[in-house]
Structure 1
Amino acid sequence: MAKLHELGIKYGTDKTAISASGDLSYLHIYEHLFSTLDQYKELKILEIGVRGGNSINMWLERFPNATVVGIDICECDFEVIDPDRFIFYQADQKDLKKLGEIGLAHKSYDLIIDDGSHLISDYIESFYVLYPFLRRTGYYVIEDLYNNYAEWNLTRTTRPNGDGSAFNEFQNFVTKSIHLGRAFDQTKSNFNVFSIHQYPGFMILNKGLV
């Protein structure tokens, strides 16, 4: 079976870009982490921001046992290699009611990737809506976090992210929740983060040990 980085090149997704630190792309790291999903007979993957369909076809080929749900503010005008396993919703990430309806329609996900607007407010609010639908052995990914910082955003459309302080507050809140989980039972809460993993450009949150 081809690896994610090979498939990313095949389908032309920008997730193949090599990081300046570590000489690895997102997909090299994803392959290492998400290979644990191969053990499951059926998977559900949700990605926000799928314009062009490049990553959709990559997921479909890498995980032939997966149904892939895509969300984008633009129309779906691309062809997929297996239409029977792809479900598309045209929706604005800011429409939290619609995000909740999509989450509920498919009940649970093994992998959620936010590659949408890259605005801090959007991906934090999306996280609170969609994270409850993540399975305990799943991965919640927020991509392209360099957009949080003023050094990168001076001439970019994501400039509203400012100095990234809102992102830092979010990280601090999640980190506090993880450590308080050692002392207080959070299993009855929708917000139940077991771990955060930071990599060059993205972060992953988990509900359990995977």
Structure 2
Amino acid sequence: MGRLREYFDSNDKRLIDKWVHYFDIYENHFGRFVNQKVNVLEIGVFHGGSLQMWKDYFGPQATIYGLDINPKCKCIEEEQIKIIIGDQGDREFWKRTIPGLPQFDIIIDDGGHYVHQQKVTFEELFPILAENGVYLVEDLHTSYWSEAGGGLRNSNSFIEYSKNIIDSLNGWHQKPSNVDYLTTSVGSLTYYDSTLVVEKKARSAPYRYTTGHLSY
């Protein structure tokens, strides 16, 4: 059992609500940031328990930011934890807010889970994610729910939207080539049950060559 699951199971601080299988995902992708000087943003504060969990996990050099539309969440601020109030689905909010934000090493979208919110948030925040940073979108099962703006193979869902990122990742191999910002900045996409992890990495055109001797 990893440290995050141990913290969750023994939590007697602020309330945390998480799908249990997420903890292995967190450990797999966040472990390299532990005890480093990092900025972490979680969208969707709820009662603030997960912000306290990240503070404990990443250590004393980490600064944890939470964003929520509910102004009551301001009371959750404490040492190493800062709260931003705003609507993640509002591009104008992000345009006003982003200039005052630090560069984030980890961004976790656990916000409203409506597909338009997830798209706007990714498009506005992925560009300010640090090189080699991690962008994680949770609760993608809402992409299959009509009430959240999705549905199976609904072109508006975030699942379908994210499939376009796969095409961008492979932009150099298309005929003709179709290279865009995501082609040069996405290192990998990893899908799990209800979760997508996008790792950021500067990329140039792939190339190949041969070494060794002919066999026949």
TM-score range, shorter chain: 0.7 to 0.9
> Contact 1:195 / 1:206 at 8 angstroms: preserved in 2?
yes
RMSD value over aligned CA atoms?
Answer: 2.5
CA shift, 1:205, in A, is: 0.6
Q: 1:169 to 1:57 in 2, by over 3 A?
A: same
Write out per-residue CA displacement over residues 59-79 of structure 1, whole angstroms, 9 at most, x where no aligned residue.
111112211111101121554
Distance 1:37 1:56 in 2: 15
Hey, which of these two has a bigger chunk of helix by percent? 1
TM-score, with length taken from structure 1: 0.80
Unpaired stretches in structure 2, ≥5 consecutive residues: 203-216
Of structures 1 and 2, the one scoring higher in RCO (CA 8 A, sep 6+) is 1
Distance 1:38 1:185 in 2: 37
Q: 1:180 to 1:93 in 2, by over 3 A?
A: same
> Contact 1:7 / 1:58 at 8 angstroms: preserved in 2?
yes
Q: Secondary structure at the match of 2:112?
A: coil
1:193 counterpart residue number: 186
2:25 counterpart residue number: 29
Distance 1:45 1:14 in 2: 18
> Contact 2:191 / 2:197 at 8 angstroms: preserved in 1?
yes
CA shift, 1:193, in A, is: 1.7
Among 195, 204, 208, the residue aligned to 2:197: 204
Unpaired stretches in structure 1, ≥5 consecutive residues: 19-24
Q: Secondary structure at the match of 1:141?
A: strand
CA shift, 1:186, in A, is: 5.8
1:105 counterpart residue number: 100
1:71 counterpart residue number: 67
1:175 counterpart residue number: 166
Q: Which residue identity lines up with residue 66 of structure 1 in the other structure?
A: A
Q: How many residues align?
A: 191
Matched, 1:139 2:131: no
In our comparison, the structure showing a higher alpha carbon Rg is: 2
> Contact 2:39 / 2:65 at 8 angstroms: preserved in 1?
yes
Distance 1:104 1:185 in 2: 30
Q: Which residue identity lines up with residue 36 of structure 1 in the other structure?
A: R
Q: Which one is further off, 161-170 or 67-76? A: 161-170
Q: 1:208 to 1:190 in 2, by over 3 A?
A: closer
Distance 2:182 2:192 in 1: 25
Q: 1:203 to 1:27 in 2, by over 3 A?
A: same
Q: Which residue identity lines up with residue 137 of structure 1 in the other structure?
A: N
Write out per-residue CA displacement over residues 154-181 of structure 1, whole angstroms, 9 at most, x where no aligned residue.
xxxx443233522343122101100015
> Contact 1:108 / 1:135 at 8 angstroms: preserved in 2?
yes
2:56 counterpart residue number: 61
Matched, 1:13 2:16: yes
Matched, 1:129 2:150: no
CA shift, 1:31, in A, is: 1.2
Q: 1:121 to 1:8 in 2, by over 3 A?
A: same
State the percentage of identical aligned residues. Answer: 28
Q: Which one is further off, 101-110 or 127-136? A: 101-110
Distance 1:186 1:84 in 2: 43
Q: 1:190 to 1:99 in 2, by over 3 A?
A: farther
1:48 counterpart residue number: 43
Distance 2:120 2:76 in 1: 30
In the TM superposition, 1:111-122 aligns within 5 A as: 111-122=106-117
